[in-house]
């Protein structure tokens, strides 16, 4: 039990515990619409997807689960989105001991770059932002559903709250069978969902920096500058790519008017940032559009937020390394700051581990399921990056493949570095260094 006092080792234990509790609750007869007992693999997959704030499903959330079951799912992705590091901080405060320097440094593995300041202050900020965004979006969606779609107040409130919490936590679960495809031309419905997703995907360190320094760019940290700038560019690239590649597709943007095309292209430039809602049929996307989605999902959002993927900062550090090597610069740098060797090694480790895990999972699923590579690869990246978008094959996969996806969601949410650190917690650095010798590269 002594080992569990270390937050890095505590992370996967807490996540696993939440999943098992959620699984047990979802297996209760009261959790299903028809009162039946949910098969263990379905309950486990759904609980994992919810806690990992992914959104992949093997049964229709709207029709399979009862109100109680949907409430359990909402509770699980709220807990998952709140973040296991935040939960670890909360447990430390409740115990009245706080975190020492070693624990706080370990915490930065997943919640990258949180200041070593007052943990209670960080926790209050997270709570305030979470409640403010979720409440605001819930009110907008509730009023829209009540006034424009004639939902009753109770039903409108439930759908509004569920989608608000799901959006802010980048979960992608929906109480509508077709996700939000029924609102393709409604900017009042899609707009707030997009905004909630983007805010949460920036990450809490960025929110803290923006709150402290407002719009004074020069006072932002390097982490904030990288995250904000790269987020803007990725959203623009995603928007342009979806618009150009799907403009004439009769199964997606083709039949829409220009305004609706622009709205849905914007929506689907945001969703691969690990949100998982869809206003278009992803399974009908052209091959080149799926490739763009592969890249956007793999990158994900900002560190220390509800987004998954390898994270924007990881991608930007790798890009800086490549640029420095090509231009023969001494240091990999960005915005007038150079990256340290530790940050570069960590970025390489995260990206390499992620690629190997996705490759391994894709290879296995292809061996047990007779499905196209494009769909399987999309599914594995979506699972690992905790996105939740799907081409529609999740429910058709054999049980072993679904278990692989569940494992991908777990590892993707906990974080490859966190898992590696937890497994190697007792490893000690060598007290010596080997002589340097360089092999031929390339």
Q: What is the pLDDT of residue 119?
A: 62
Q: What is the pLDDT of residue 106?
A: 41
pLDDT band, residue 127 (cuts 50/70/90): confident
Q: What is the pLDDT of residue 138?
A: 98
Q: Give the whole-angstrom CA distance, residue 83 versus residue 382.
A: 19
Residue 424 or 313, more confident? 313
**CA-based torsion, 362, 364, 365, 371: positive or negative:** positive
**58 neighbors 46 (Cβ within 8 angstroms):** yes
Q: Is residue 423 scored above 60 in pLDDT?
A: no
Helix (H) or strand (E) holding 268: helix 258-270
Q: What is the pLDDT of residue 440?
A: 85
The radius of gyration of the chain's CA atoms, rounded to the nearest angstrom, is: 22
Q: Is residue 373 scored above 70 in pLDDT?
A: yes
Q: Is residue 3 scored above 70 in pLDDT?
A: no
Q: What is the pLDDT of residue 43?
A: 98
Q: What is the pLDDT of residue 416?
A: 63
Does the reported pTM lie above 0.95? Answer: no
Q: Give the whole-angstrom CA distance, residue 393 versus residue 368.
A: 13
Q: What pLDDT, in 10s, does the model give residues 174-186? A: 999 999 999 999 9
**385 neighbors 314 (Cβ within 8 angstroms):** no
Residues 6+ apart with CB under 8 A from 283: 375, 390, 391, 392
Q: Is residue 26 scored above 90 in pLDDT?
A: yes
């Amino acid at each position: 039990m002594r080992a569990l006092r270390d937050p890095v080792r505590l992370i996967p234990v807490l996540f696993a515990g939440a999943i098992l509790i959620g699984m047990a609750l979802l297996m209760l007869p009261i959790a299903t619409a028809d009162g039946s007992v949910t098969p263990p693999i379905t309950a486990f997959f759904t609980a994992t997807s919810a806690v990992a704030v992914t959104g992949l499903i093997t049964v229709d959330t709207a029709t399979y689960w009862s109100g109680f079951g949907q409430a359990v799912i909402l509770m699980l992705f709220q807990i998952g989105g709140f973040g296991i590091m935040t939960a670890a901080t909360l447990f430390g405060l409740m115990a009245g001991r706080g975190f020492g320097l070693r624990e706080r440094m370990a915490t930065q593995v997943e919640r990258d770059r949180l200041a070593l300041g007052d943990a209670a202050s960080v926790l209050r900020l997270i709570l305030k932002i979470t409640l403010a965004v979720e409440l605001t979006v819930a009110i907008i969606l509730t009023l829209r559903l009540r006034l424009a779609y004639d939902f009753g107040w109770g039903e409108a409130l439930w759908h509004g709250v569920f989608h608000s919490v799901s959006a802010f936590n980048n979960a992608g679960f929906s109480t509508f069978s077709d996700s939000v495809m029924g609102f393709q031309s409604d900017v009042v419905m899609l707009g707030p969902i997009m905004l909630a997703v983007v805010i949460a995907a920036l990450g809490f360190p960025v929110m803290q920096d923006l709150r402290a320094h407002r719009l004074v760019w020069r006072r932002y940290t390097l982490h904030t500058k990288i995250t904000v700038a790269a987020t803007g560019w990725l959203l623009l690239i995603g928007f342009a790519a979806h618009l150009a590649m799907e403009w004439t597709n009769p199964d997606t943007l083709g039949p829409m008017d220009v305004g609706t095309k622009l709205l849905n292209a914007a929506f689907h430039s945001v969703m691969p940032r690990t949100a998982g809602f869809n206003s278009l049929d992803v399974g009908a996307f052209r091959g080149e559009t799926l490739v763009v989605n592969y890249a956007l999902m793999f990158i994900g959002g900002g560190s220390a937020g509800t987004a998954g993927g390898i994270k924007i900062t990881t991608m930007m550090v790798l890009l800086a390394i490549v640029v420095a090597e090509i231009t023969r610069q001494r240091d990999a740098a960005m915005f007038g700051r150079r990256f340290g060797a530790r940050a570069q090694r960590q970025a390489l480790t995260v990206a390499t581990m992620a690629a190997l895990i996705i490759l391994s999972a894709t290879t296995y699923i292809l061996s047990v399921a007779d499905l196209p590579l494009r769909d399987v690869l999309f599914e594995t990246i979506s699972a690992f990056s905790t996105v939740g978008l799907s081409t529609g094959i999740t429910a058709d996969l054999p049980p072993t493949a679904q278990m692989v996806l569940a494992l991908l969601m777990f590892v993707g949410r906990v974080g490859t570095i966190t898992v590696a650190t937890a497994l190697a917690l007792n490893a000690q650095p060598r007290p010596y260094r080997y002589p340097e010798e360089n092999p031929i590269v390339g």
